[in-house]
Structures are given as structure tokens and as C-alpha cells.
């Protein structure tokens, strides 16, 4: 595998620097004394933070943004081939790599790297592993796909051989990662604009698992389909968690204040009682995966117990934002039917009157591919407020609209309202939310602003 020698780089430029992973990588390079610049399509809290840290950020993509004397240009995988900055970098003859290649090359420099993959739960599980290593004073380097509350950042530079990062499957990005411990939380169909079949998706995860060296380990959920066949050709050790796995969670309890408790058993032997400051069975499973990683790395049980009990969560993962008129405002990143089901199931386990879900679908391809799943999942809310589809990297071909979802959800008997603006949705919620209700702003776009507006006006 080719390595990037950061010692030979004085200046680097990031196209799409405002992305959660890209911003962390930009700060990582800057911490190593490399001059960093970047650009993004729009201003955000992340781009503002980067500028406050002394990183030059241009808003909008333009060829003139690329420094003529930079030695490295990093771009996001979703960038179009005709991006002016990408074309300019090639014209300059600058070395050009994508985000995943840079992250993989950096990861390869750490003897105890942990890569967390899965269609759902990556950010929460990466955060849980990060916290237990911090609690145990392992001094890890971190690259998280969300803002970790305890450090108020998505990255951290440590001085040890421990490195923790999310490993995303989109565009086979994680095929460039070579972790000592790989984690597979689940393999669920998503990113249908790239993965055209379940077989292609499973093969992508298999490539990631095959990158783990013989002295490393794969921590994998027993719920993964045809698990025995999936792991049979791996050269690394295999550690399972979940029902019937090496690590299992028993005597699970959920309190109405959003906490969970469970007993961890390792190969049939009781290990510890865990108290987790997160709701939902899906978070018990995420925590169990993190426990398996920590136990394998030799972290003390007491350190893990303390870190889980104090875990404040990652931003946008069932994040409590405050109260409006006595209604609790929660923000969550869920944008896939499986994630919506998990979030609403967790919400139902907390004390509430009505659950009002303000959902912003993410990408036309995902909305079309999982239409029935979205209808079924959202129908579990008491009231649904739908916003327009957040297009992200896609172009609207007119084949799907939020109105289609609204109509179908209403046919299921669930109260559902469509609004073409945040202002309309906010006005509705202000008029209809009562004390004891829960309002969940949900989606991977900018839906979080709706909850913030409710709280600020």
C-alpha cells in the first residue's frame, strides 16, 4: 500500500473542507505543521471553526482557490469530475487524492487503529470507543463523523499508537483502510445510487474485513446475514457480539429518562453491569460492540463502565436541544428507515405525550428506493411533519416528492403535514406542540435548524 509522506508536504488544499470528516483531516494536517486551505459550497459552523483555527476557507468552488504552490489536494468522493478546483489541481500537476485515501494512509501509520463500519451506528459507536480510550488514558488520535461532546470537536491528536475513525462504505471508501481492529455493526442496503445489489454491498464490506491483518480482529454483529460464510475466509481473528455471540447483553432495562442498563457476558461468563446514558436497544448493541473493542485492547472494565455512564452522546444523535412550551426538542441524524425505526422506538421508551417528527428526506434516490420503508417507519410517530427532500449531491428528476410520502403516510392513518418551507413547519409546531410532547427534528440535511429556530424565537 502506498503511503503519503507528510514530511514532504508543506501546503495542502481540501475541496469540500466543510464536511465532517474532511474538516477533521484538515485540522489533523495543520496540527502536523502543514499549511492548509480549502473550499466548500456554503458556509457552516464547521467552516467558521476552521477559519477561527487559522485555516483559509473559500466559499464556492473556483480554480483560483487552489494555491499554485501546494503539494497535495484532497477531495470528497462525491465531487464531480468537472469541478473547477479539481481540474486546476490536475493542470498544476499536484498530487490529488480523495478523502478516504488520505484517511487510510494516516490510519496505516498507527499500530492500533480501529475502523468502525456499518450502515447505521458508526458515529455513536466510534464516539463510545473514543470515550473509553480517553477514560483509560490511552491518548488516542480520533476522527469522528460527528461532534464528540467531551472534546467539542470531531478530531483529536494523540501521541499513542491508538487511532479511531469511522469507516464509510460509500464508494467503497473503507477499502483503503487497514485497521488493526475492524468493526462491522450491520450491513443494510443503502446508497442505492452506488450499490446496485445486496451482493455488491456485502462484497464491499468483505473487502474491508479482508484488509485486517492476521494479528488483528474483526468485531462483527451476529445479526449480519450468513455470518459464517462472510467470515470464513478472513485471515484475522473474529469476535462476535449480539445474540449467541462472544459478547452478549442480557437483563436489558430502559428507563423513561432515556438511559439503558444491561449485563455484559463474555462467552457465557458475567463481566459487568453497564449503565448507558443513551436510550434504545440499538444503542445497547452499539455499546456492546464498543465494549468488545475495549476489552480486546485491554481497557479495564471500570474505565469502560465510567465512560459509558458519563457518555453525553455525539451531536445530532438523539441530542436534546432544549424545551419549547414544555415540549422537549430532540435532534437526530436518522435518514434511513432502519434508523428512523430505531430512533422512534427509543423515543417511545422515554416519557412523553405525543411524538412529533419533523422529517427531511435525504436524497431523491434514497427516498425512492426505500419509499415503503419510510412510510412504515414514520407512521410510528404520532404526528409527522414533512419538509422537501434535501438533494445533497443529486438533481431532482421529478420522480419523487415529499408530497408522495405525506399522502401515503396519511393513508396509514397517521397525522401528516407537508410544508415547503421551514417557516411553515415552525408555525405549525409552535401552534400545536404542548407540554410533555417530544419534537424530533430528523434527517441528514439542515433540518436541525428547525429545532434551533423553535428554541431561539
Q: Count the residues in the chain.
A: 457
Return the beta strands (E) in 207-334 as ranges: 217-221, 237-241, 247-254, 260-266, 269-276, 319-324, 327-332
Give the CA distances from residue 383 to residues 66, 265, 283, 336, 341, in Å, rounded to whole numbers and listed in that order.
Answer: 48, 39, 24, 18, 15
Does domain 110-310 sit in CATH 3.40.50.2000?
no
**What mean pLDDT comes out for the span 291-311?**
97
pLDDT for 168-188, tens place per residue? Answer: 988 889 999 999 999 999 998
Return the number of other C-beta atoms located less than 10 Å from residue 4's C-beta: 18
Return the number of other C-beta atoms located less than 10 Å from residue 152's C-beta: 9
* Torsion 141-146-151-152 (CA) sign: positive
Q: Which residues pair with 142 in a beta bridge?
A: 156, 164
Instruction: Tell me the CATH class for 319-456.
Output: alpha beta
Q: How high does pLDDT run on average in the chain? A: 93
The Cα–Cα gap between 141 and 300 comes to: 19
Asked if the model's pLDDT at residue 2 lies above 80, the reply is no
Contact 257, 350 (CB under 8 A): yes
Strands 269-276 and 260-266: antiparallel
Residue 84 or residue 254, greater confidence: 84
pLDDT for 117-159, tens place per residue? Answer: 999 999 999 999 999 999 999 999 999 988 888 888 888 999 9
**What mean pLDDT comes out for the span 376-405?**
92
User: What backbone torsions phi and psi does residue 38 show, to the nearest 5 degrees?
Assistant: -170, 175
The Cα–Cα gap between 391 and 387 comes to: 12
The Cα–Cα gap between 199 and 68 comes to: 43
- In this prediction, residue 457 carries a pLDDT of 72
- In this prediction, residue 308 carries a pLDDT of 96
C-alpha cell read off for 429: 409546531
Contact 66, 39 (CB under 8 A): no
- In this prediction, residue 255 carries a pLDDT of 87
- Banded pLDDT at 1 (limits 50, 70, 90): very low
Q: What does the domain layout of the chain look like in residue ranges? A: 6-98, 110-310, 319-456
- The position carrying cell 462525491 is 78
DSSP output for 74-85: EE-TT--TT-HH
- In this prediction, residue 39 carries a pLDDT of 97
- In this prediction, residue 434 carries a pLDDT of 93
For 200, half-sphere exposure in the C-beta direction (CA atoms, 13 angstrom radius) is 12
Residues assigned a catalytic role: 122-123, 166
Q: Regarding the domain delimited by 6-98, which CATH topology (the fold level of the hierarchy) does it fall under?
A: Rossmann fold (3.40.50)
Secondary structure (3-state) at 257: coil
The Cα–Cα gap between 320 and 49 comes to: 22
**What mean pLDDT comes out for the span 225-253?**
97
DSSP state of 260: E
Residue 100 class from Cβ within 10 Å (0-12 exposed, 13-18 middle, 19+ buried)? buried
Return the number of other C-beta atoms located less than 10 Å from residue 115's C-beta: 27
The Cα–Cα gap between 143 and 25 comes to: 8
**What mean pLDDT comes out for the span 422-444?**
94
**What mean pLDDT comes out for the span 295-306?**
98
312: left (phi over 0), alpha (psi -120 to 50) or beta: alpha
What is the b/e burial string over 378-416, where b = at least 16 CB atoms within 10 angstroms of the residue's CB? Answer: bbbbbbbbbbbbbeeebeeeeebbbebbbebbbeeebeb
The alpha carbon of residue 116 and the mean position of all alpha carbons in its chain are separated, in whole angstroms, by 10
The Cα–Cα gap between 171 and 106 comes to: 19
Residue 202 or residue 314, greater confidence: 202
Task: Please give the torsion angle defined by the CA atoms of residues 83, 88, 91 and 97, in that order, rounded to the nearest 10 degrees.
Answer: -70
pTM: 0.85
**What mean pLDDT comes out for the span 431-451?**
94
- In this prediction, residue 4 carries a pLDDT of 57
pLDDT for 326-369, tens place per residue? Answer: 999 999 999 989 999 889 988 888 888 999 999 999 999 999 99
Contact 219, 184 (CB under 8 A): yes
The DSSP element (H or E) to which 420 belongs, if any, is none
Contact 238, 218 (CB under 8 A): yes
Amino acid at each position: 500500500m502506498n503511503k503519503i509522506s507528510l514530511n514532504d508536504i508543506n501546503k495542502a488544499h481540501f475541496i469540500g473542507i466543510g464536511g465532517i470528516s474532511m474538516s477533521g483531516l484538515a485540522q489533523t494536517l495543520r496540527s502536523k505543521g502543514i499549511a492548509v486551505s480549502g473550499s466548500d459550497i456554503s458556509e457552516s459552523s464547521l467552516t467558521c471553526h476552521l477559519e477561527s483555527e487559522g485555516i483559509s476557507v473559500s466559499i464556492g468552488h473556483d480554480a483560483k482557490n487552489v494555491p499554485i504552490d501546494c503539494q497535495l489536494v484532497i477531495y470528497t468522493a462525491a465531487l464531480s469530475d468537472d469541478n473547477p478546483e479539481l481540474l486546476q489541481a490536475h493542470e498544476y500537476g499536484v498530487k490529488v487524492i480523495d478523502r478516504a485515501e488520505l484517511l487510510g494512509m494516516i490510519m496505516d501509520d498507527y499500530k492500533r487503529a480501529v475502523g468502525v463500519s456499518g450502515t447505521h451506528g458508526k458515529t455513536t459507536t466510534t464516539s463510545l470507543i473514543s470515550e473509553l480510550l480517553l477514560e483509560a488514558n490511552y491518548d488516542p488520535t480520533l476522527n469522528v463523523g460527528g461532534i464528540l461532546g467531551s472534546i467539542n470537536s470531531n478530531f483529536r491528536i494523540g501521541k499513542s499508537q491508538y487511532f479511531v475513525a469511522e469507516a464509510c462504505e460509500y464508494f467503497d471508501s473503507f477499502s483503503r483502510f487497514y485497521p488493526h481492529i475492524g468493526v462491522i455493526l450491520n450491513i443494510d442496503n443503502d446508497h442505492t445510487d452506488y450499490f446496485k445489489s445486496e451482493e455488491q454491498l456485502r462484497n464491499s464490506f468483505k473487502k474491508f474485513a479482508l484488509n485486517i491483518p492476521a494479528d488483528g480482529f474483526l468485531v462483527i454483529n451476529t445479526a449480519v446475514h450468513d455470518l459464517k460464510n462472510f467470515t470464513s475466509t478472513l485471515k484475522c481473528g473474529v469476535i462476535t457480539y449480539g445474540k449467541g455471540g462472544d459478547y452478549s447483553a442480557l437483563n436489558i432495562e430502559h428507563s423513561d429518562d432515556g438511559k439503558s442498563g444491561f449485563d455484559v457476558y463474555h462467552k457465557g461468563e458475567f463481566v459487568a453491569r453497564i449503565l448507558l446514558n443513551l436510550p434504545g436497544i440499538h444503542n445497547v448493541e452499539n455499546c456492546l460492540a464498543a465494549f468488545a473493542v475495549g476489552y480486546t485492547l485491554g481497557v479495564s472494565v471500570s474505565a469502560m463502565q465510567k465512560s459509558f455512564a458519563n457518555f453525553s452522546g455525539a451531536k445530532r444523535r438523539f441530542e436534546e436541544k432544549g424545551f419549547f412550551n414544555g415540549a422537549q426538542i430532540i435532534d437526530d441524524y436518522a435518514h434511513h428507515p432502519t434508523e428512523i425505526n430505531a430512533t422512534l422506538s427509543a423515543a417511545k421508551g422515554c416519557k412523553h405525550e405525543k411524538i412529533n417528527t419533523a422529517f427531511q428526506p435525504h436524497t431523491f434516490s434514497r427516498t425512492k428506493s426505500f419509499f415503503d420503508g419510510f412510510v412504515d417507519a414514520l407512521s410510528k410517530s404520532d404526528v409527522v411533519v414533512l419538509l422537501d427532500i434535501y438533494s445533497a449531491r443529486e438533481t431532482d428528476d421529478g420522480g419523487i416528492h415529499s408530497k408522495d410520502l405525506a399522502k401515503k403516510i396519511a393513508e396509514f392513518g397517521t397525522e401528516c403535514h407537508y410544508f415547503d418551507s421551514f417557516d411553515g413547519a415552525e408555525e405549525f409546531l409552535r401552534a400545536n406542540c404542548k407540554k410533555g410532547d417530544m419534537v424530533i427534528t430528523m434527517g441528514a440535511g439542515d433540518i436541525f435548524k428547525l429545532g434551533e429556530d423553535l428554541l431561539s424565537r
